[in-house]
């Protein structure tokens, strides 16, 4: 039981790190040419950090997510019903996506032209 707990803790730490890198990568894109923070356009440090983070942050995030899925399915015996799994993901991901698009993105695009 101790080995499984350690494995879960390591996966959680890797998820936190991968999530942090995703957020950091998106923040640094604002400092690149065409970004939102104009005084720092073409800042070599920010451009280099952004390029470095973007070179591996999404593959790392996907790999960690796959590890969590594998562990949850194999060790905890969850997600054995594929239809239920897909329905659960639709409720948790697609519904908030549609809500956010309708009530935030579209009105913002309409106001800004």
Q: pTM here?
A: 0.58
41-45 average pLDDT score: 71
Centre a 10 Å sphere on the Cβ of residue 83 and count the other Cβ atoms it contains: 7
Q: Which are the contacts of 32, defined by CB distance < 8 A and separation ≥ 6?
A: 41, 42, 46, 47, 50
Distance in angstroms (rounded) separating the CA atoms of residues 95 and 87: 11
Whether 3 shows a pLDDT value over 70: the answer reads no
Task: Identify the pLDDT of residue 98.
Answer: 92
Distance in angstroms (rounded) separating the CA atoms of residues 88 and 100: 18
Is residue 90 very low, low, confident or very high in pLDDT (cuts 50, 70, 90)?
Answer: confident
């Amino acid at each position: 039981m101790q080995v499984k707990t350690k494995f879960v803790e390591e996966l959680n730490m890797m998820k936190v790190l991968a999530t942090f890198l995703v957020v950091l990568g998106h923040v640094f894109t604002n400092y690149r040419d065409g970004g939102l923070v104009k005084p720092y356009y073409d800042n070599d440090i920010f451009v280099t950090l952004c390029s470095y983070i973007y070179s591996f942050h999404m593959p790392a995030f996907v790999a960690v997510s796959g590890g969590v899925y594998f562990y949850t399915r194999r060790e905890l015996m969850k997600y054995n019903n594929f239809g239920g799994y897909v329905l659960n993901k639709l409720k948790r991901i697609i519904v908030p996506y549609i809500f956010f698009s309708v009530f935030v993105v579209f009105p913002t695009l309409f106001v800004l032209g």
